[in-house]
A and B are shown apart, each in its own frame.
Chain A
Amino acid sequence: MIYLSMTLSKIFRYTLLAIFNALIVYAVPLALAFESWFFLSLILVIGILVNVVYFTDRFQPMKWILPGMIFMLSFVVFPAVYNSYVSFTNWSTGHILTKTQAIGILEDRVFTPDDQKGLEFEMYILQDLDLNFYYVANLDSENILFGRAVSDDEIFTTSYATHEPSLFINGEFSTPDGYYQLSGKEQIANSTTLQELSLVIDKNTRAQLYKISVFGASTGRLTSTSQLYTYDEINDALFNNATNTLCPVVKDNFECEGKEIEPGWRVYVGGENYSKLFSSQRIRGPLGIVTKWTFQFALLSVIFSFAVGLLLSMILNKDGLKFQRIYRAVFILPYAIPAFVSALVWKGLLNPDYGVINSWLGPLYEMLDVEPVKWLKTKESARSAVLLVNTWLGFPYMFLITTGALQSIPKELIEAAKVDGATGIQSFWRITFPLLMVSISPLLIGSFAFNFNNFTLIFLLSGGGPPIIGSEVSVGWTDILISFTYKLAISGGRGNLFGLASSVTIIIFALVLIISAISFRYTKRLERIYGNI
């Protein structure tokens, strides 16, 4: 029986593997065709892994872990790698395209000699029996120009347009024999072709289709016969046809007579972003303040929410307590509200002038004869507010897990301690708490890591907080590293600085990694000491 089932499972496994490989084989050429390099590398890696792991009987543990790992590789590892790559580039405003794309955009630019600027005229599009296109440009009564519409490579070899007054009879356009006039709708249907064609008027001028109209006659414009720029591969420079100058490459832009031509492109800049972070005075100063606060914020958030959650679960952890179920449900309730809504609500509650918090504390303020606290407007009040709200947001989760953890501690241990004469406090600290920490500490570490990067709360509640006066970059008292990164990214000197922001992200990760690694080593010790119950 078992023999048969083993073989069955093998068949099952191989069939699945076969189907999987079939899919991979199908997808690879498609990925190549679409030049989807990210996707291609991903499925190759996954394909190899799956085959290696599932083909043989070895790698038993990996068979269980790989399914989840595929997703982690695709959506956590890959973005992280990409992020690292970006941090070594100059990705910022003006430099988001590849060099090829930038050249493409620049080469598309046309220019019009000054004396012909602003001229707009009617254009008619004709087609002959061989399906060639012809343009008629009605510049003025002396210049009703007719000729074949040619693509860019034929511009300098084709004959010039000729003046054909016969095309206009009594001011109305009449289609000559042998030709068919395209209506607006038909022009649109062929627009992708037509937009590449021009009517050559003389050595330096051509007419191009400017606006296809479905409600009237289409219009055209005059432009120079050459594009504004031509890329010179040999010299790796851009040739400006209007001014006849060469614009060489300077790092990540072409420069014409000292002026940068936009768009530029992405280049690899090595560790420049990282050195900028550490050497730039502008950034270093606030970086210190923000880092310190980030640690404080994450640590205190965990401590406060854990304390409240634990307190509540301990209070409710009493047999015979009435309404236990209702209390428990109420305490998890904040968890059900989407976080961004909660942040907004609290922002309103904390409003110094009209918010409820200050109205309630009104009598207290009067009693102590102090000014109402200007929540979110001063450094201390903003930081306190942020911690308060984060505690509100976090304690249900802590309550949830501590209740679970408490229930796993055998009552016998507590009883035994009581018998030995321990007080409630003693038995808590010596028995309950350590046992709790064995199972909870990883969660606390996780909560710390989460709050270290808790962008949503800071952004929605305080927007980074009251501004730090005198800092060289715009930063606030409640900004944490990640919101500071965001501000850097969007408000860097000349636009966005994604490369720089990426490097800060990597550094944040490095920090979190080091702290977590250390903390997990500590919990290993805990596990060893307190073991499994």
Chain B
Amino acid sequence: MKTNKLRFIVFLLMFSLVAVACGGDTADDAAEAPDTTEAPKETLAAPATTAPPPEVIVVWAEEKVANALDPLVGAYEAAAGVDVEVVVYDFGAIRTDVQTAGPAGEGPDVFLGAHDWVGELAANGVVSPLDLGSVASDLFDVGVTAFSYGGEVYGFPYATEAIAMFYNADLVDSVPTTWEDAKAACDAAGTELCVGAPGGGGGGDAYHNHPFVASAGGYVFASEGGFDASDVGLDNAGALASAEYLDGLVKNGTVASTDYGGSMTAFQEGRSLFWMTGPWARGDASAVNYGVGLIPQFDGNAATPFVGVRGAMVSSFSDKQVLAQSFILDFFATVEVQQAMYESDPRLPATKSLFAVVEAADPVAAVFAASAANGIPMPNIPEMGSVWGPFGDALLIIRDQNYGTNEETGVTVSNASDAMKLAAEQIRNAIAGG
């Protein structure tokens, strides 16, 4: 009896709680009504009062870049009456998260990333075409090309980078123009290693080794006005000849078998005369008195490094398309902001006007720029994803001289040409079969 009464009371309690929750729900729902920006009630003189809540522009950027950008946005926030929220993101994560978060409605409005993402992002429909308009005249072509895909431009380029050749200024005056002269310089200086180029020592690195095969006729994808995935040029005559030349350079000791870390250490400790890498390594290179020169030529052709371009892009799932675009073109593209960006993350500016300033002040930057001028942007099409593996593997074989036959697959790679042909074949198969 007592139990039943007790149970009854308990049930009552339970249901009343549920009822309260329901009731509270509807009240909540009313308050949940979407924030419509109310048009200000106005006189002719000025809009009144109830200012709508400020728009928030969400910007995703990696650490260094975000730290550079954050202090600058205050000016825009004040002038524009918006909140700019700069979110620090792991660089690689920006690329993947923008594609998951965007369609789910949680993505950024603007994000800063690398140009070789463009193909994938555009194919997935997560990045909006960005109309550069009059700003384009102040941008180097390479930057704009890098962000073009399918006839549209998808981002505002702000920084470029390409590798060049560091040299130990205590031991040599400059970088010779031919590889033979480089070897001679090394012999004269008596260093243990000659050219420390990443991409050996077990760590395949197609990015760094691109000049070795692409400077005299070879290429990854043909690039007439956009990259053509059906035309892989890693096994054409120029590429094969260059690969054999690289093989020769490895064999005679000009190019050492080191990975990135190994080449860095060797240079820092004075054990290698040259170090073939990019502007981000200036800090590390400062362990010795260093200079920078152009990479030696191949067969009279200037070395063609891969150029990487960073830029600002607009997410297509942002509901503030014009605002995001305006943020980039009206604020981010200004020289003041670009200059501040450059000072904290020194890559090469993609805007001509800023570049002139930088070049005058920093001759080393000028050399990197000259090297980049001879380079081509990394292909930004999605098919590039299938290139890094085979390309890097092939170069690794040549750099580490890992020729031989693989018992398991029965395939023989006996020289550099074989390696390149194999890579090209793998890439074509991947693109066709994927």
* Interface residues, chain A, with chain B CB atoms under 8 Å away: 7, 10-11, 14-15, 17-19, 21-23, 25-26, 29, 33, 92-98, 101-102, 105-106, 108-109, 120, 127, 129, 131, 178-180, 184-186, 188-195, 209-215, 218-219, 221, 262-263, 280, 282, 285, 289, 348, 351-354, 374, 376-378, 463, 466-474, 487, 490-497
Partner of A191, one of B14, B322, B388, B389: B322
Q: Hey, which bits of chain B sit against chain A, CB under 8 A? A: 3, 6-7, 10-11, 13-15, 17-18, 20-22, 24-25, 28-29, 32, 37, 39, 42, 44-47, 51-52, 54-55, 76, 79-82, 99, 103, 119-120, 122-126, 129, 131, 133-134, 150, 201-204, 229, 258, 261-262, 265, 316, 319-323, 325-326, 329-331, 382-383, 385-386, 388-390, 393, 396-397, 400, 402, 404, 406, 408-413, 422, 426, 429-434
The chain A residue with its CB closest to the CB of B128 is A108
CB-CB nearest in chain A for B423: A474
Are A184 and B37 in contact, with the CB atoms below 8 A? no
Q: Top 4 A-B pairs ranked by shortest CB distance?
A: A493-B434, A470-B411, A474-B389, A263-B125
- Report if A212-B323 is in contact (Cβ < 8 Å); known contacts: A97-B103, A466-B402: yes
Known: A7-B6, A185-B81. A211 touches B408 (CB 8 A): no
**Cβ contact within 8 Å between B323 and A18:** no
Contact of A189 among B3, B18, B37, B400 (CB under 8 A): B37
Which residue of chain A lies nearest to B333 when distances are taken between CB atoms in the complex? Answer: A211
Cross-chain contact A101 with B103 (CB below 8 angstroms):
yes
User: Are A466 and B44 CB-contacts (below 8 A) given A25-B21, A496-B120?
Assistant: no
Q: B325 — nearest CB in chain A belongs to which residue?
A: A211
Bound-complex Cα distance A97 to B102 (A): 10
Q: Is the CB of A192 within 8 A of B323?
A: yes
Residue of A at shortest CB range from B326? A212
Q: Which of A131, A190, A377, A493 contacts B386 (CB 8 A)?
A: A493
Q: Which residues of B contact A496 (CB under 8 A)?
A: 120, 382, 385
> Contact at A97–B202, with CB atoms within 8 Å?
no
By beta carbon, the residue of chain A nearest B134 is A120
Distance (whole angstroms) from the CB of B128 to the closest CB of chain A: 8
Chain B hits for A7, CB < 8 A: 3, 6
Q: A468-B408, A473-B426 are in contact. Are A282 and B433 (CB under 8 A)?
A: yes
The answer on a CB contact under 8 Å between A469 and B322 is: no
Instruction: List 11 extra interface pairs beyond A33-B32, A493-B432, CB under 8 A.
Output: A18-B15, A33-B29, A98-B103, A186-B47, A191-B326, A192-B320, A211-B329, A351-B261, A472-B426, A472-B429, A494-B382
Known: A188-B80, A493-B383. A470 touches B123 (CB 8 A): no
Given the contacts A21-B14, A22-B17, A282-B429, A469 and B326 also touching, CB distance less than 8 Å: no
Determine if A184 and B429 form an interchain contact, defined as CB atoms under 8 angstroms apart.
no
Cβ–Cβ < 8 Å partners of B331 in chain A: 214
Contact, CB under 8 Å: B32 / A15: no
Find out whether the CB atom of A97 lies under 8 angstroms from the CB atom of B125: yes
The residues of A that contact B386 with a CB separation of less than 8 Å are: 474, 491-493
The answer to whether A192 touches B262, judged by C-beta atoms less than 8 angstroms apart, is no
Nearest opposing residue in chain A for B152, CB measure: A109
Contact B326 A211 (CB under 8 A): yes
| Minimum Cβ distance to chain B for residue A256 (Å) | 12
Q: When the two chains form the complex, which single residue of B326, B426, B433 contacts A188, counting CB atoms closer than 8 Å?
A: B326
Inter-subunit contact B409/A189 (CB<8 Å): no
Q: Known contacts being A97-B125, A131-B39, A212-B330, is A11 close to B6, with CB within 8 Å? A: yes
Closest-by-CB residue of B relative to A120 is B133
In the complex, residue of chain B having the shortest beta-carbon distance to the beta carbon of A8: B6
Cβ–Cβ contact A215 & B385, under 8 A: no
Cross-chain pairs A/B with CB under 8 angstroms, 14 sampled:
A21-B14, A25-B21, A179-B44, A188-B81, A195-B320, A214-B79, A214-B330, A262-B122, A351-B201, A377-B402, A467-B396, A467-B397, A493-B386, A496-B385
* Residue from A95, A282, A471 within 8 A of B409 (CB atoms): A471
- Bound together, the chains give a CA A497 to CA B382 distance in angstroms of 11
Q: What's the minimum C-beta distance from B189 to chain A, rounded to whole angstroms?
A: 20
> Smallest distance from the beta carbon of A97 to chain B beta carbons, Å?
6
Name the A residues within 8 Å of B17 (CB-CB). 18-19, 21-22
* Bound form: Cα–Cα A194–B325 in Å: 13
Q: Is the CB of B396 within 8 A of A212?
A: no
Q: Is the CB of B433 within 8 A of A280?
A: yes
Q: Are A469 and B406 in contact (CB under 8 A)?
A: yes
Roughly how many angstroms separate A188 CA and B109 CA in the complex, as a whole number?
A: 14
Q: Say which residue of B3, B25, B80, B390 sits within 8 Å of A29 (CB atoms).
A: B25
Question: A493 vs B261: C-alpha distance in the bound complex, in angstroms?
Answer: 31
Name the B residues within 8 Å of A21 (CB-CB). Answer: 14, 17-18, 21
A residues in contact with B39, CB < 8 Å: 131, 190
Q: Contact partner of A195 among B79, B150, B322, B412, CB < 8 A?
A: B322
Tell me which residues across on chain B come within 8 A of A188, comparing CB atoms. Answer: 55, 80-82, 323, 326
**Which residues from A are CB-within-8-Å of B323?**
188, 191-192, 195, 212
Residue of B nearest to A117 (CB): B131
Structural contact, B385 and A495, CB atoms closer than 8 A: yes
Given contacts A470-B410, A491-B389, contact A189 B131 (CB under 8 A): no
User: Closest Cβ of chain B: how far from A197's Cβ, in Å?
Assistant: 10
A180 to B20, CA, bound (A): 49
**How far apart sit A213 and B13, CA to CA, in the bound complex (Å)?**
60
* A191-B323, A210-B322, A472-B429 known; A263-B14 Cβ under 8 A: no
- Measured CB to CB, the closest approach of chain A to B38, in angstroms, equals 10
